[in-house]
Amino acid sequence: NRGKKYLTLQILEEAVTQGEAILAEVRDRKKRIKQIWKLLLTYADEPSKGLHISEFRDVPLRVWCKPAAEGDADGPLPCDDG
């Protein structure tokens, strides 16, 4: 996906479902990924194309935390159990 100018749903899904990521293992992963995607698209000037790389900084860090935590290929932290 190097060289791409837009983050698309497909690229997001590939990124957050690798390894032991929470989003790789839960039953409702498609729904959860789409919820994250819809939230990210609220910061896009052209949502039909996705989120342009120049718009990444417009997305607050608190929004990036959800895909970062649930999409971490190393899986959840021990403190996340339960």
CA–CA distance, 60 with 81 (Å, rounded to integer) = 26
> Environment class of residue 55 by beta-carbon count within 10 Å: exposed (0-12), middle (13-18) or buried (19+)?
middle
Q: What is the pLDDT of residue 81?
A: 64
Collect the ranges in the chain with pLDDT lower than 70.
80-82
pTM value?
0.89
Please report the sign of the dihedral spanned by the C-alpha atoms of residue 24, residue 75, residue 59, residue 27. positive
The 10s digit of each residue's pLDDT in 66-77 is 999 999 999 987
